[in-house]
């Protein structure tokens, strides 16, 4: 009888240094996920559809801009919502999946990620060895952060640097005036909004008082605060996972 030995490989990829540094771990893969500790295919994709006058049609974002972010959630009353963000607009839809424009007043559209400087053209364009004219500089793509505070939608982009909230009732998302300028955010399980790149400092994290996104100034009577990370890098994103952020 053959003897079988269990191979227990922890879920997730680990690509630090050379291959031997990732011994006993998954190192590479594509379109996979882990379910109950086992690696599985991520599954197929389907076009989001809705019913209009008895006809099933695709859900299409208004205008010609490409979606840059999306977020779905359920309200306290059980209604389903979907938010879709483009470079210049923020849309939201209810269970009917009809996207309505909730772009805040005064919102500044971000960059689509143009790179008109050195290396910005497609490879092979023009004659090799010929000097190109400088027609611009690299402009990083605006990145959206989308999450829900209870049943409210919160949103911001790295280009506009303003935190907005949509309460499902008002026609447009509204600026949270007390929040500092930020490049992104993450909401913790304890209901703190963590502002990334706060006050135009790419290494600073600021957070509001617990359960109150209108209070950001630290005081003895609240839990607001901030910290600057000791690093040469810059904050890119935050993520809430089980038991921690």
| pLDDT classification of 243: cutoffs 50, 70, 90 | confident
Within a 10 A sphere around the Cβ of 92, how many other Cβ atoms?
21
Contact status, residue 108 vs residue 159, Cβ threshold 8 Å = yes
Res. 221: pLDDT tops 80 = yes
Mean per-residue pLDDT for 81-91? 95
Cα 218 to Cα 49: distance, rounded to the nearest angstrom: 46
161 alpha-carbon distance from chain centroid: 14
Instruction: For 186-216, write each residue's pLDDT tens digit.
Output: 999 999 999 999 999 999 999 999 999 999 9
Within a 10 A sphere around the Cβ of 90, how many other Cβ atoms?
23
Residues in the chain, how many?
A: 245
Cα 214 to Cα 36: distance, rounded to the nearest angstrom: 40
Per the structure block, which two tokens stand in for 72? 């779905």
Mean per-residue pLDDT for 107-124? 68
Res. 8: pLDDT tops 60 = yes
Amino acid 13: pLDDT: 86
For residue 144, give the nearest of 86, 72, 58 by alpha carbon: 86
Its pTM stands at 0.77
Contact status, residue 26 vs residue 12, Cβ threshold 8 Å = yes
């Amino acid at each position: 009888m053959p003897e079988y030995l269990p191979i227990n490989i922890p879920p997730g990829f680990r690509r630090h240094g050379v291959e031997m540094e990732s011994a006993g771990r998954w190192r590479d893969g594509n379109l996979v996920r882990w379910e109950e500790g086992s690696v599985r295919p991520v599954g197929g994709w389907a076009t989001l559809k809705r019913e209009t006058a008895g006809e099933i049609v695709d859900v299409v974002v208004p205008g010609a801009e490409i979606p840059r972010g999306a977020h779905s959630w359920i309200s306290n009353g059980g209604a389903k919502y979907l938010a879709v963000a483009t470079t210049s607009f923020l849309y939201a839809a209810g269970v009917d999946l009809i996207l309505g424009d909730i772009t805040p007043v005064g919102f500044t559209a971000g960059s689509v990620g143009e790179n008109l400087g050195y290396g910005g053209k497609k490879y092979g364009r023009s004659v090799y060895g010929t000097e190109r004219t400088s027609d611009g500089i690299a402009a990083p793509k605006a990145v959206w952060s989308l999450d829900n505070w209870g049943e409210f939608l919160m949103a911001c982009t790295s280009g506009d640097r303003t935190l907005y909230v949509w309460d499902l009732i008002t026609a447009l998302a509204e600026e949270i005036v007390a929040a500092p300028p930020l490049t992104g955010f993450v909401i913790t399980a304890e209901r703190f909004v963590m502002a990334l790149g706060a006050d135009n400092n790419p290494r600073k994290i600021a957070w509001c008082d617990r359960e109150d996104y209108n209070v950001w100034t630290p005081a003895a009577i609240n839990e607001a605060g901030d910290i600057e990370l000791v690093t040469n890098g810059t904050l890119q994103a935050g993520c809430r996972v089980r038991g921690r952020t």
